[in-house]
Amino acid sequence: MTEPVALSDIKTHLRLDQGATDEDGYLTILLTAARRACEGRIHRAVVGTAAIATFDSFPSAPIGVPLEVQQPDALYLELEGGTVASVTSISYFDGAAAAQTLDPATYIVDLDQIPARVAPLDAWPIAKQRPGAIKISYVLSPLPLDDLAAVKQAIFLLVENWYSHRGAAVVDTKGVPTELPLAVTWLLWPLTQFATS
């Protein structure tokens, strides 16, 4: 995966010599950690990536009740992580514990929602009751450019903060421990409006 902030860019931000490579490994770790911290804060993938959602069972509905008269979201499975570009496959273990892959013609995907939703056209098959019985493979879209710009700035600030203060706790000018630099909170807050918890 290509990080949204390049090593050369963070070295420029930190006013480090581009030719000095002794801390490149450490800076690379900080860049990855900062991206992951931003993703955790906004509950969305920053760069496009493959994802897998696992479920223990398919949602069930009363037998004989047509799909169109059931509760609208009774059979939905939600796909977390941001904007979903596509669903690659849905696999499950059937009642005999044999691996199966659903025909895409048997389910519908609502990509316009965040989180995206998957529902059967008729009914979900019977799956063996077990942890992780169902796996949905899908692709997350990268953030729109405006949102990505805010996250990149947050990454710059986080890495600068961690690079300058290498201890576990960061304190403000009054000696009070702080969780995140205030600017990072302000940058990421608008993106959390699309987040799900």
In the prediction, which pLDDT does 131 show? Answer: 92
Q: Other C-beta atoms within 10 Å of 87: how many?
A: 20
Cα 155 from Cα 160, distance rounded (Å): 8
Model confidence, pTM? 0.74
Looking at residue 21, its pLDDT comes to 95
User: CA end-to-end span of the chain, whole Å?
Assistant: 25
Q: Which helix H or strand E contains 34, and what residues bound it?
A: helix 24-42
- Residue ranges for the chain with pLDDT beneath 70: 61-73, 168-172, 177, 179-181, 193-197
pLDDT at 101: 97
Answer whether 153's CB lies under 8 Å from 33's CB.
Answer: no
CB atoms within 10 A of CB 184: 23
Q: What is the pLDDT of residues 14-30, one digit of tens each?
A: 999 999 999 999 999 99
Compute the distance between CA of residue 98 and CA of residue 81 in angstroms, rounded to an integer: 29
Confidence at residue 134, expressed as pLDDT on a 0 to 100 scale: 96
Tokens of 17: 């010599």
* Residue-level pLDDT at 33: 96
What CA–CA distance (Å, rounded) separates 80 from 124? 20
